[in-house]
Amino acid sequence: MTNPHGSFLWYELMTRDAAAAAAFYSAVIGWDVGEAPPGGVDYRMLNAADGHAGGMLQLDEAMLAAGATPTWHGYLAVEDVDATVAGIAAAGGTTIVAPWDAPGVGRIAMVADPQGIVFYVMRGATEGATSPAFQHNSVGHVGWNELMAPDAEGALGFYHRLFGLTRLGGMPMGEMGEYSFIGPEGGQAIGAIMRCPPGAPAGWSFYFRVDDVDAAKDRITAAGGTVINGPMDVPGGARVLQATDPEGALFGLLSGGE
């Protein structure tokens, strides 16, 4: 795939119960969740009205025994998976799953940054194709990527050196420091990095666009999820919330804004 180096090209939900997760997110976000392929790994596509928004992996017994938990992960596009994995290790990160080739999909590795925050790196198999998973203004797609890290400045340096993500301004957050917008140099912001609030878990979180966050709040609770923050207005005219699904996986929603 030709998604630029350092851009998000895929999002994946790990879940213990794919059928229940499909029902929850279909009710909340409106996805059409595909069927699991026959045999092998239970992996289902998450489809917005205008294309794929991500995928869903049902955790098997071996994955659960290895410590996998329900969560959302992002995939960063890279030019060379093996070289990037080596660079991450040299920068103090770790390799969780070594690079492997997924037939017809691409070369993938699961890694952690120097602060232990997990994500994937990937080079798509199809030259000239572009993943539509991240689309700032399209309903059903991730419209914002947010990293909370114990050391926000260290995270900014790491993701800049390895992936070219650059600070594109920011917003002061008082004692919590700067909410730093990030994106390709000279481009549009795709998200932000901030210091973890006290008691909050470190990691990437992803905000899916919906028509109306306030209406979606009621759908979350009706479907068995928990709203943990918001809805609230944020600079730029957007309205956001954070929630967990019935298995405890954190996600965000947004509507409105520029």
pLDDT in tens, 127-153: 767 899 999 999 999 999 999 999 999
Q: Give residue for tokens 């090209």.
A: 9
Quick one: pLDDT at residue 224?
97
Q: Give residue for tokens 């070594």.
A: 98
- Model confidence at 23: pLDDT above 70: yes
Quick one: pLDDT at residue 16?
96
| Model pLDDT for residues 32-60, shown as the tens digit of each residue | 999 988 878 899 999 999 999 999 999 99
Quick one: pLDDT at residue 211?
95
Which of 146, 144, 210 is CA-nearest to residue 173?
Answer: 146
User: Rounded to whole angstroms, how far apart are CA atoms 243 and 218?
Assistant: 12
Q: What is the mean pLDDT of residues 230-247?
A: 92
Q: Give residue for tokens 């709203």.
A: 227
Quick one: pLDDT at residue 1?
56
pTM score of the predicted model: 0.95
Number of other CB atoms surrounding residue 140 within 10 Å: 24
Residue length, the chain?
258
Measure Cα distances from 33 to 140, 143, 249, 251, 257 in Å: 12, 19, 17, 17, 27
* DSSP-assigned beta bridge partners for residue 120: 75, 110
CB-count burial class (<10 Å; 0-12, 13-18, 19+) for 154: middle
- Model confidence at 176: pLDDT above 80: no
